[in-house]
Structure 1
Amino acid sequence: MHAVDILDIFPATLLGFLVAFTLGAAFWALGLMLVSAVTPQKELALLRAGNLPTAIAFGGKAVGMVLPIAAVAGSAAGPLDQAIWCAVAVLVQLLAHLLLSALLQGRLRAEIEADEVGGGAVFIAFMQVGAGILNNACMAG
């Protein structure tokens, strides 16, 4: 393929990129808002205040959620397929969040309230990233 051929198809490939990126970013943001909505703490306010346990746990959630969303963007058959699998990715990460919250029985909440990093924040961050990696591998096709 020559440079002229690449430039001829660029508008179509750019549009495909913009659609995939926008869908992925929207599901990532909506997924994080959904996870935050089921969290008893006001994570955004805590992040703005510099609460380190919140930053660690929420950062793990964010990375864990974007990994499968990124995998779907690269393997989806089209925008509808991408949207469906992004919704599945968000659901898996939400379930992982709820399971981890139940498993630790308030440990993270205590760390957040004390603004002291302990095992809860680090464990949740790593487990959310791990769930995202597994989810990514299963969705990458």
Structure 2
Amino acid sequence: MSAAEILHLFPATLLSFLVAFSLGAVFWVGGLVIVSLITPISELTLLRAGNLPCALAFGGKALGMVLPIAAVARTAAGPLDQIIWCIVAVAVQLVVHLILTTLLAGRLKQEIDADQLGGAAVFVAFMQVGAGILNNAVMSG
């Protein structure tokens, strides 16, 4: 492909990139907002204060959330397909979050309240990332 052909195609491919990236970003941030709303602590306030257990657990949630969203952006047949599968990706990560919250029965909250990193924050972070990797693999085919 010549340079002229590439430059001719660039506006259309740039628009496709911007649409896919924007949809991915909206679902990533939206999913994290939903997680924050169903979490009984104010994660943003704690993150601003430098709370390490909160940062580790929320960082795991953020990474776990974006991995399948990235797979969807790569494999979607178009914007509507991307939207549908991003909803599924976010829903899976929310279910994992709820399961982990139930399993740990307040242990993560205790660590966050004490601002002391312990097993719960590490476990949550790794499990969320693990779920995101599995979700990514399944969605990317």
TM-score range, shorter chain: over 0.9
Does residue 126 (structure 1) correspond to residue 138 (structure 2)? The answer is no
Residues of 2 paired with 1:114 and 1:33: CA distance? 24
Aligned residues: 141
Which runs of at least 4 in structure 1 moved beyond 2 Å after TM superposition? none
CA distance in 2, matches of 1:86, 1:12: 23
Cα distance between partner residues in 2 of 1:6 and 1:96: 43
2:98 matched residue in structure 1: 98
CA distance, structure 2, for counterparts of residue 4 and residue 71 of structure 1: 31
Q: Which amino acid aligns with 1:80?
A: L
Ranges in structure 2 where 5+ consecutive residues have no aligned partner? none
Aligned to 1:138: 138
Deviation at 1:100, TM superposition (A): 0.4
* TM-score of the pair, normalised by structure 1: 0.99
Q: CA separation in 1, counterparts of 2:31 and 2:61? A: 10
Unaligned runs of 5+ in 1: none
- Equivalent pairs: percent with the same residue? 72
Aligned-residue offset at 1:104 = 0.6
Letter in 1 for 2:89: A
Following the alignment from structure 1 to structure 2, what is the Cα–Cα distance between the partners of residues 105 and 2? 60
TM-score for both structures, normalised by structure 2: 0.99
Alignment of 1:1-141 (within 5 A): 1-141=1-141
Q: CA RMSD in A?
A: 0.4
Return the offset for 1:17.
Answer: 0.1
